[in-house]
Amino acid sequence: MKKILIANRGEIAIRVMRTAKKMGIKTVAVYSEVDRNMPHVTYADEAVCIGKAPSSESYLRGEKIIEVSKALNVDAIHPGYGFLSENADFAELCEANDIIFIGPKSKAITVMGSKLAAKETVKAYNIPMVPGIDEAITDVDKAKAIAKDIGFPILIKASAGGGGKGMRVVSAEDELESQMNRAISEATSAFGDGSVFIEKYVASPRHIEIQVMADTHGNIVHLFERECSIQRRHQKVVEEAPSTVLTPELRAEMGQAAIDVAKSCDYVGAGTVEFLLDENKNFYFLEMNTRLQVEHPVTELISNVDLVELQIRVARGEVLPITQDDLKIKGHALELRVYAEDPLNDFLPSVGTLETYKLPVGEGIRVDNGIGEGMDVPIYYDPMLSKLITYGKTRMEAIQLMKKAIDNYKVEGIETTLPFGKFVCDHDAFISGDFDTHFVKTHYSPEAIEAEYKEEAEVAAMVALQQYLKDRETLRLPN
């Protein structure tokens, strides 16, 4: 493997290129017209424009990317995450053109891309799943029987849509009929279909995911867990490794379950198995992400493993150079996704020019960055600018380092999630480890950040006043 094309943009493109260059592999960047001056374009050995700004006319053009790869004698394509990374048709297209797809086979992508198909596939391995039914119903009596079987509280969900429409949490049997009728009515109005699913309601879940890596020789390892419960709009913002709530026994049990999920679909490469963990430490399989995750750096730091390098080695047909016994957790890592979003305005996208953009540096600080000062933030893609990662011997050391790094990350011209990251790191619930996926809903408000801004401004004013008085007193001293 002498040349890799990275079918992506921004920080993940640079991240993959960095490892490829370390391994002596040439790199090819692709870019849209609006991304012509982005750092990943100049960082690569070669770069080719593949279309206009919209992703449908550039980064999602699989045939065009294959055409460029063949013209430049590319041996393999790394899809990063997003765009074509979980597109089974693109993986097949690579295979058909004798280009290595650095990821799983198309069959695994297809199976794990469907929640129902994934659940059916992993059944043989007795993977714990949220109790419920995999069929849609409208019969109240049948619903009562199912609810008694799985136990309250339960969650009623519309089968024909989402967005919270036709969704009800039911705590007791005497509420079931009225709540189900409401759910059916709402679902009928919203989607024209009143049928619903029923499953056990996990009241205070934590989102725990396990990183796995598998080679083509039947070897699979897990690289421990990541805690991903700090989310807004079901999208992760702060991640860490390891989790504060997993015991060694539970970690081993969840790790084996993740390995079994990978076995169930003949998985190859890097993948992540996601679980819900309830307040009683029961875990349930959610889904498998068949690609490298955004939050992979925290795993790399605590395991001292380069996941991209392992991806490339596995794609070359090599045997995994590590066994489960080789892997140990060392230290603690945090990651903040730095989005061009306004945390004071419901995390809405913030567009504009990066008038000032200075990254923090120092021991234990890593920034996977994909943009530069003076550049415009494109409106066409995911608004993540970078990932700010800190690593310490202990969790508290990593948190304190994150707060320092946030303070030293200078951005002007747009709003970012940096203040939200500071809010999280300062919050007692996060510091104590006593939080779940409802953290933002329960603890966060724009007023909380505004209050912090005000307090910081008052402290700065007091310091300035004291310095002024001290300087004035000094000037009055006689010679």
Q: Residue 141, Cβ neighbours under 10 Å: how many?
A: 9
In a domain, residue 184? The reply is yes
In a domain, residue 263? The reply is yes
Residues 230/290, Cβ–Cβ less than 8 Å: no
C-alpha closest to that of 4 among 275, 413, 17: 17
| Residue 388 sits in the same domain as residue 471 | no
| Residue 156 sits in the same domain as residue 224 | no
Query: Which residues does 351 contact at the CB level (< 8 Å), separation at least 6?
Result: 340, 376, 377, 379, 414
The SS3 assignment for 49 reads strand
Q: Residue 126, Cβ neighbours under 10 Å: how many?
A: 9
| Residue 350 sits in the same domain as residue 470 | no
Q: Residue 396, Cβ neighbours under 10 Å: how many?
A: 11
Where the chain has pLDDT below 70, the residues are 161-164, 453-464, 473-479
| Residue 16 sits in the same domain as residue 88 | yes
First-to-final CA distance of the chain: 76
Query: Which residues does 51 contact at the CB level (< 8 Å), separation at least 6?
Result: 32, 33, 57, 58, 61, 64
Count how many domains the chain has: 4
Output the CA torsion sign for 222, 223, 229, 232: negative
User: Which secondary-structure segment (H or E) carries 76?
Assistant: strand 76-78
Q: pTM of the entire structure?
A: 0.87
| Residue 379 sits in the same domain as residue 409 | yes
pLDDT score at 460:
58
CA distance 233 to 55: 22
38: amino acid identity, one letter: M
In a domain, residue 355? The reply is yes
Q: What is the pLDDT of residues 202-220, one digit of tens each?
A: 888 999 999 999 999 999 9
| Residue 305 sits in the same domain as residue 321 | yes
Please tell me which residue in 291, 313, 337, 366 is annotated as part of the active site.
Answer: 291
| Residue 431 sits in the same domain as residue 460 | no
In a domain, residue 109? The reply is no
pLDDT score at 161:
62
C-alpha closest to that of 143 among 102, 111, 94, 183: 183
In a domain, residue 82? The reply is yes
Active site residue 337: no
Q: What is the pLDDT of residues 344-372, one digit of tens each?
A: 999 999 999 999 999 999 999 999 999 99
Q: Which domain holds residue 298?
A: 213-443
CA distance 422 to 298: 18
pLDDT score at 462:
67
In a domain, residue 121? The reply is no
Q: What angle do CA 391, 392, 396 make, to 5 degrees?
A: 115
Tokens of 94: 């690579």
CA distances from 292 to 79, 100, 197, 289, 385 (A): 9, 16, 31, 8, 18
CA distance 360 to 87: 35
C-alpha closest to that of 232 among 421, 368, 414: 421
| Residue 431 sits in the same domain as residue 457 | no
pLDDT score at 138:
85
Kindly give the pairing relationship between strand 3-6 and strand 26-32: parallel
Residues 226/295, Cβ–Cβ less than 8 Å: yes
**Token match 């053009």: residue?**
61
